[in-house]
Homo-oligomer: A and B are copies of this chain.
Amino acid sequence: MLQASVSGTVIKSSLIEPDGGVLVDARVPESERGSKTLEAELMPKVSLAKIDMEWVHVTSEGWASPLKGFMRENEYLQSLHFNSLRMENGPVVNMSLPIVLAIDDETKESIGSSKDVGLVGPEGDLLAILRRSSSKHVVDVLVYMYEANVHVKQLQDSFSIEIYKHNKEERITRTWGTTAPGLPYVDEFIIPAGNWLLGGDLEVLKPIKYNDGLDHYRLSPKQLRDEFDRRQADAVFAFQLRNPVHNGHALLMNDTRRRLLEMGYKNPILLLHPLGGFTKADDVPLGVRMEQHSKVLEDGVLDHETTIVAIFPSPMHYAGPTEVQWHAKARVNAGANFYIVGRDPAGMGHPTEKRDLYDPDHGKKVLSMAPGLEKLNILPFRVGFTTSHLFANAPIPHTVAAYDTVAKKMAFFDPSRSKEFLFISGTKGNMESLGDCFCYCTVIAWFRRFHTVGSRLGIFLMRTYARNGENPPDGFMCSGGWEVLVKYYERSVTEEAISAVASA
């Protein structure tokens, strides 16, 4: 018998509805865990890698609502081709990244014709069930099938887990727009993965914990929504990041708050939302970033009263314009109705060519056009009109952050005293190049001798400063935050030296 077994909690929020109207919650209530676990023990088992567990975490908490688990082919194809899913009742929700579970031939064989499987975590613990559909959809499909005289065998198949081909080449090209070797997520998780994808609805049998001292930062969309309500927020603006916060970031966040107040909001809340899942090897680790973010709040660069710091549990794809939609959509589900987007979001250098993998402007352009995100207010950074603004609700063009040499701090560029600001290209004074400098411009200005410059150079320079024990330009980052980074890079240097000695 088919019955609804995943509890969907209807979230009331005056700010923004979760996609599909209902926040998915695929975590089995404590009272049912015993019986479900017994049931799961009899099912064929599928082993999850760490990355799969991160996706179980993400989908079970409803970040990908209305998605209820790993994608079936129907959802996978829509995501791949349209970056969106059409709901049963008509409207479209955004879904730009395929959230899929790859299995190999042997696992496929072992599943056979089973309708459900047990998912086993990296530690060998029975973590979840992947099973047939449990939603209202079932009823619709039953009615359809009855009317269409569809055979019972086919009916059963439609609600089972689903195994379909994992065409890696197509998945990679349509998601990343390249097949160049050196894409971190692709190289680590797709190339070595199995040739099949396993789709179905999740039932998570126990809370997912990382035991890294940061679990208290891992607030679910439901918890975040509750917290926004508790604080009586009338606007929530989300800032996605995977790097330390410097004063350029802070300026933009604080200015956004100021603008929201100007627009008439009484209590805008900032969701400072660092990504906590997989990141590439040379990104600053989550623990260090969280410590740095704490200092930024301690030092008063961001206001404690109006800021919530939490971890977004998703892995990072580095898929630029395709991924930025996911970053925004997940925050809609968490209750944010404003989203800040900068230059080249979720971008990286091309793995094999000397250029950015994505046009740095495409991220915010694509985001402003993205199906299903019309309800989200997108806040782009750069001054200047593009037709894409036409598609965003209530667009608020931002000015460009630059280093004010008189005030000795990051500030918005004032054209009337342009010589007192430092930009990537010095005196060029052209709005395009101003925009390009984004917010690492101060550091970069110190290094004009470099031939190739770009925003990512800021990270490199920050590392160089910290490693050499030098201080960055005054006002670039609060001192507490800076010390965290210096210590991290000192440790890295020591560890590298030790490992070099060990391998010598």
Contacts and interface: CB of A to CB of B under 8 A. Distances in A.
A77 B366 contact: yes
A144 B385 CA distance: 10
Interface string A377-390: 00000001111111
A454 to B, nearest CB: 16
A13 to B, nearest CB: 24
Interface of A: 72-74, 77-78, 81-84, 86, 88, 92, 140-141, 144-145, 148, 150, 154-155, 158, 165, 167, 169-170, 173-174, 176-180, 321-322, 358-359, 362, 365-366, 369-371, 384-391, 397
A78 B369 contact: yes
Contacts of A84: 82, 371
Nearest to A180: B169
Contacts of A391: 86
A155 B389 CA distance: 13
Contact of A369 (B86, B140, B167): B86
Contacts of A74: 365, 369, 386-388
A431 to B, nearest CB: 9
When all copies of this chain in the complex are counted, the total is 2
A141 B390 CA distance: 8
9 contacts: A74-B369, A81-B369, A82-B83, A86-B371, A92-B371, A169-B178, A170-B177, A173-B178, A174-B177
A82 B165 contact: no
Nearest to A85: B369
A407 B57 CA distance: 60
Contacts of A92: 92, 371
Nearest to A162: B387
Contact of A321 (B72, B81, B158, B180): B81
Given A81-B366, A366-B77, A389 B322 contact: no
B83 A154 contact: no
A82, A148, A174, A386 — most chain B CB neighbours (10 Å): A82
